[in-house]
Structure 1
Amino acid sequence: MFTFGLDHFLGHGRSLLRWGLPASTLLLLAGCEESLSAVHPAGPAAQVISQLWWVLLAGAAAIFLFVAALIALAWRRPPGETEERRFVVWLGLAFPMTVLAALLAYGLVVGERLLPRATPDLVRVQAEARQWDWRFGYDDAPGRVTENLLHIPAGRPVDVAITSVDVVHGFWVPRLAGKLDAVPGHVNLLRIEADSPGRYEGLGSEFNGAGYRDHRFTVIAHDAEGWRAFLRGETP
């Protein structure tokens, strides 16, 4: 027999059902700004991350609904008719652990697809973070430096070598790729790619001081001619 009773477990059920769904809905609505939304992907890496997000959400929803159904079922049964061991261990624990194990396996497989690998037409740029701006350099345009504007060609993979000159920052362009830290004295490599020309918002995602909220930058993805013009110095 468990040291805790099923009645104690069910005592919190009403609050869970009353506040759980509204709170979950508010959390989902909180990330609806499209320019910084990871679920509005505009590139291959972001598409993979978006799919992973939806799969994780579906798994979490399945666990929540299953546990809520168990609570509702227990409420409907007369006292003493519920076997605690079967109800809590086999149903309340086995199902969530199975779902979580499947999600972990899926996440590991998806993570492999995000690793930067050798590919034709690869572009390499440097991103240097500092309080409170970003500076970008370009292997294809030696000596060219832009501040808070990162220029890339659309439809081509871009490896961003990320570092920092002061504290730890976070490089994140939600619609193009995942987040990666900018660490002083160390270079981290992130693969990004834009499906089409356009402007994509980026931000410093690591809290590190009073200017954190305004530590943003913009990625400008050019078509082929626009990228050549940038390399020739014809684009500011």
Structure 2
Amino acid sequence: MRDPSKHHSCLRVPVQAGLFAALSGCAGPLSTLTPSGRSAASIAGLWWTMLAGSVVLFTLVLVLFLLVIYRPGWGSRVSAARWVVLGGLVLPAVILIPLICYGLFAGERLLPLPGMTPPRIEAIAKQWVWTFRYPDQGGVETRNLLHLPAGTPVDIVVTSEDVLHSFWIPRFAGKIDAVPGHANRLRVEADQPGRYEGQCNQFCGVGHTGMHFAVIVDRPEDFAAAVKEAAANGEVKK
């Protein structure tokens, strides 16, 4: 007869490995769950709220399931129509309606604040390179290296010279498409100086996996000099 303890020990390894793999994806330079900006914090908050709501809903359904399994006849006095209404409409609505309301609230926070004219940086995508142009700094350019000032909203004007790409700095904000012949605007704000990473998040060809870029967030007083130095040195980060 098989020893249950050995069976549990065999299951423990893959379960622990799965939990470690899942938790390791919650951190790192491309993690949306370690936000470093106002918009990214709103997105992370929405994710955690949706996760909590789904856990509550799953728990309620699981409780009903266990009651049916371990207490035969439980709920038999409730008509089928009432089960459909209570279980199919009321139960999800109790969880989903608050989640929708919070989602709308969080979505409003992602919109650019009115009455502001922040600095502008142009992000130009081309297989498989990002070129960043700084109109407020004399139009200098850097390749695969984006400089941003800390604590300052910046409008990233995103476009493409060939196919559809997508601009994304996970720790700062959501993603936005880079469309040929069209300019999309994404407002980002980095909380503090440091090095971050961004990438193309839309499959754009065989070189898509290498289409990423470094993001250097400078102190506001150092930003202009850092941009000019990077452009003068022809810095290209991959």
Please give the alpha-carbon distance, in whole angstroms, between the structure 1 residues aligned to 2:116 and 2:73. Answer: 67
Question: Which position in structure 2 is the counterpart of 1:234?
Answer: 229
- 2:117 equivalent to 1:133: no
Across the aligned residues of Structure 1 and Structure 2, the Cα RMSD in angstroms comes to 2.2
Deviations 1:155-198 (A, max 9, x none): 10011001111111111101111111111111111111111111
* Match of residue 56, structure 2, among 49, 62, 79: 62
Please give the alpha-carbon distance, in whole angstroms, between the structure 1 residues aligned to 2:34 and 2:75. Answer: 48
Q: CA deviation at 1:100?
A: 1.6
- 2:190 equivalent to 1:194: yes
Q: Is the 8 A contact 1:152 1:221 kept in 2?
A: yes
- TM superposition score normalised by structure 2: 0.81
Q: CA deviation at 1:228?
A: 2.8
Q: Is the 8 A contact 1:121 1:157 kept in 2?
A: no
Q: CA deviation at 1:54?
A: 0.6
Q: Is the 8 A contact 1:151 1:222 kept in 2?
A: yes
- TM superposition score normalised by structure 1: 0.82
User: For 1:1-236, what aligned pairs fall within 5 Å after superposition?
Assistant: 28-29=22-23, 31-79=25-73, 81-82=75-76, 83=78, 84-118=80-114, 122-231=118-227, 233-235=228-230, 236=233
Return the letter of the residue paired with 2:167: F
Question: Which position in structure 2 is the counterpart of 1:5?
Answer: none
Please give the alpha-carbon distance, in whole angstroms, between the structure 2 residues aligned to 1:138 and 1:113. Answer: 26
Deviations 1:185-221 (A, max 9, x none): 1111111111111111101111222211111011111
Query: Which ranges in structure 2 are unaligned for 5 or more consecutive residues?
Result: 1-14, 234-238
Query: Which ranges in structure 1 are unaligned for 5 or more consecutive residues?
Result: 1-21
Identity of aligned residues (%): 46
Please give the alpha-carbon distance, in whole angstroms, between the structure 2 residues aligned to 1:206 and 1:45. Answer: 20
Would you say how many aligned residue pairs link Structure 1 and Structure 2? 213
Please give the alpha-carbon distance, in whole angstroms, between the structure 2 residues aligned to 1:98 and 1:170. Answer: 36
Please give the alpha-carbon distance, in whole angstroms, between the structure 2 residues aligned to 1:74 and 1:25. Answer: 30
Deviations 1:41-74 (A, max 9, x none): 1111111111111111111111111111111111
